[in-house]
Amino acid sequence: MKLTIIGTGYVGLVSGTCFAEVGHHVICVDNNEAKVKLLRSGGIPIYEPGLEELVKKNVAAGRLSFTSSIAEGVEKSDVIFIAVPTPPQDDGSVDLSFIEKVAREIAGAMHGYKIIVDKSTVPVKTGEKVAETIKRYCKSKVDFDVVSNPEFLREGFAVEDLMKPDRVVIGVRGPRPVAAMKEVYVPFQAPVIVTDINSAELIKHASNSFLALKISYINAVSVLCEITGANVQEVAMGMGLDERIGRRFLNAGLGFGGSCFPKDLSAFIKIAEEVGYDFGLLKEVQRINAAQMDRFVKKISDTLWVLKEKKIGVLGLAFKQNTDDVRMSPAIDLCRRLLREGATLRVHDPKAMDKAREWLPDVEYVADLNAVAEGCDALVVATEWEEFKALDLKRAREAMSHPIFFDGRNLFDPAEMEKQGWIYKSVGR
Ligand code: UGA
């Protein structure tokens, strides 16, 4: 099929590339000329495992191309995906101006029947607005369908999630676009669910909010574990073996961050408020998430007492493993709090150091994981990178004035750490 994806962020670029990988002909559009130039020359603006190779392969095969012209993308394709940002506004609601602008531009370039698919995360009823806008701005009277097709990929695992999705959600107003949408996804061999547009839009916000709720739930349980001397990982294992609950997303730690959960939770609360429902449950999810970070910072300051003139080594800056993304990263939040208390920081992240510099200019960036501990009063794990498990603990201990370790992501085994002579504090254990 001939597909156009407007927006080459995480969702747009990975979707476009994976669509090309399964044999579709894909045009990716972005209004940022520099980004288009970079992509055309084989460069990738984000770090995402496996993506670079796939982009190169599909560009070489002639199935994937890049342009800054929406008109060209609309002209040459039957199905146009919108994957532009929907950033949060100060009151928690979603800024839909990029979606609206793209809808107008698509409308202006349409000369025959097109299927316009929203892939960006949007509030319920956005599809209706997009349809109205396209109708209003179409130069001639052309037929079109608007479809909601939310994306569920996780950063860091985006290619894997795209190629093997748990489900594909297609929200439509009538039957006409269903066959074409199913054809887009046939190669992925995933369960497809066809719903009305409002339901599809709600599925996305309801899913992300539920996952955030699951994380806050286990974080609340971790508080009880600490008070009672239980172990949150054992509790999570015991709960998770119940198939109705499941073990995934039950990792206690510094709480959730990133460009999706915090934003989508606020948006969902706001959406509910606007239709007259107080989604208090989700407000509590936010409160627990914030409190989890407060508790961890307190744990550090209770142990080290005065943070002024203390040197702390921080492992991890990305909002989670396998990504260079630092937007709304709990690790960055933690660093800023420690800096505010007067500590000096030596920091390391396998992929996110370049992106972190803008947010954290006044810290020492250390390229070698095993050199971070030098001269430090404590080490802190802030992101769940697998790489950190290979830390040379003996060398770290010898390089520090005191062997104090705060593990905000429960990467290490408490008994083993204590055996090795560390004063070791983690979350819920
Ligand atoms: C999330 C969803 O998982 C995707 O399904 C969705 O498509 C995406 O948002 C989106 O809306 O675009 P993502 O933000 O990439 O994906 O990252 P997650 O893997 O969900 O992690 C989010 C945060 O939760 C991270 O800060 C992570 O450290 C934290 N987390 C995750 C925990 O604290 N505990 C867990 O058990 C799992």
Q: Is the CB of 267 under 6 A from ligand 1?
A: no
Ligand 1 mutation target, pool 86, 154, 168, most atoms within 8 A of CB: 154
Ligand 1 mutation target, pool 233, 261, 292, most atoms within 8 A of CB: 261
**What number does the ligand 1 atom closest to the CA of 208 have?**
2
Residue among 35, 275, 12 nearest 121 (CA): 12
Q: Is the CB of 409 under 6 A from ligand 1?
A: no
Q: Is the CB of 250 under 6 A from ligand 1?
A: yes
Here the tokens at position 23 are 């044999």
- The amino acid at 414: P
**What number does the ligand 1 atom closest to the CA of 212 have?**
24
Q: Is the CB of 209 under 6 A from ligand 1?
A: no
Residues 45 and 13: their CA atoms lie apart, in Å, by: 10
Q: Distance, CA 98 to ligand 1 centroid (Å)? A: 24
3-state secondary structure of 221: helix
Instruction: Spell out where 164-278 has E strands.
Output: 168-172, 192-196
Residue among 127, 129, 265 nearest 205 (CA): 265
- The amino acid at 9: G
Q: What is the mean pLDDT, run by run of 10 residues, along the chain of 429 residues?
A: 96 97 98 96 91 96 97 97 96 96 97 97 97 94 96 95 97 97 97 98 98 98 98 98 98 97 96 97 98 98 96 98 95 98 98 97 98 98 98 97 96 97 98
Q: Distance, CA 91 to ligand 1 centroid (Å)? A: 22
Are 332 and 360 in contact, with CB atoms under 8 Å apart? Answer: yes
Q: Distance, CA 261 to ligand 1 centroid (Å)? A: 7
Are 94 and 265 in contact, with CB atoms under 8 Å apart? Answer: no
Ligand 1 mutation target, pool 11, 48, 94, 153, most atoms within 8 A of CB: 153
Residue of minimum CA distance from atom 3 in ligand 1: 154
Q: Distance, CA 174 to ligand 1 centroid (Å)? A: 33
Start-to-end CA distance of the chain, whole Å, equals: 52
**Per-residue pLDDT at 141:** 87
Q: Distance, CA 154 to ligand 1 centroid (Å)? A: 6
* Angle at which helices 126-137 and 197-228 cross, to 10°: 150
Residues 35 and 333: their CA atoms lie apart, in Å, by: 29
**What number does the ligand 1 atom closest to the CA of 384 have?**
28
Q: Is the CB of 320 under 6 A from ligand 1?
A: yes
User: Each residue of 202-225: pLDDT tens digit?
Assistant: 999 999 999 999 999 999 999 999
* Angle at which helices 197-228 and 232-240 cross, to 10°: 140
Here the tokens at position 330 are 């709990």
Tell whether the torsion through CA atoms of 320, 324, 330 and 334 is positive or negative: positive
- The amino acid at 175: P
pTM, rounded to two decimals: 0.96
Q: Is the CB of 56 under 6 A from ligand 1?
A: no
For this structure, is 260 an active site residue? yes
Q: Is the CB of 256 under 6 A from ligand 1?
A: yes
Residues 386 and 206: their CA atoms lie apart, in Å, by: 29
Residue of minimum CA distance from atom 28 in ligand 1: 320
Domains of the chain: 2-190 (3.40.50.720), 196-429 (3.40.50.720)
User: Each residue of 125-153: pLDDT tens digit?
Assistant: 999 999 999 999 998 889 999 999 999 99
Residues 285 and 217: their CA atoms lie apart, in Å, by: 8
Q: Distance, CA 211 to ligand 1 centroid (Å)? A: 8
Q: Is the CB of 319 under 6 A from ligand 1?
A: yes
Q: Distance, CA 256 to ligand 1 centroid (Å)? A: 7
- The amino acid at 26: V
Q: Is the CB of 258 under 6 A from ligand 1?
A: yes
Write 24-27 long-range contacts (CB < 8 A, 24+): 24/63, 24/184, 25/1, 25/63, 26/58, 26/63, 26/64, 26/65, 27/2, 27/3, 27/65, 27/66, 27/67, 27/72, 27/73, 27/76, 27/77
For residue 380, what are the β-bridge partners?
A: 314, 406
For residue 406, what are the β-bridge partners?
A: 380, 425
- The amino acid at 142: V
Residues 425 and 404: their CA atoms lie apart, in Å, by: 8
Residues 95 and 286: their CA atoms lie apart, in Å, by: 20
Q: Is the CB of 165 under 6 A from ligand 1?
A: no
Residues 266 and 270: their CA atoms lie apart, in Å, by: 6
Q: Which of 18, 260, 335, 376 is catalytic?
A: 260
Q: For the chain, how big is the Rg over CA atoms in Å?
A: 23
Q: Distance, CA 87 to ligand 1 centroid (Å)? A: 17
Q: Distance, CA 144 to ligand 1 centroid (Å)? A: 34
Q: Is the CB of 81 under 6 A from ligand 1?
A: no
3-state secondary structure of 20: helix
Q: Is the CB of 148 under 6 A from ligand 1?
A: no
Instruction: Spell out where 133-232 has E strands.
Output: 144-148, 168-172, 192-196
For 180, phi then psi, to 5°, come to: -65, -40
* Helix, strand, coil % over all residues of the chain, rounded to 5: 45, 15, 40
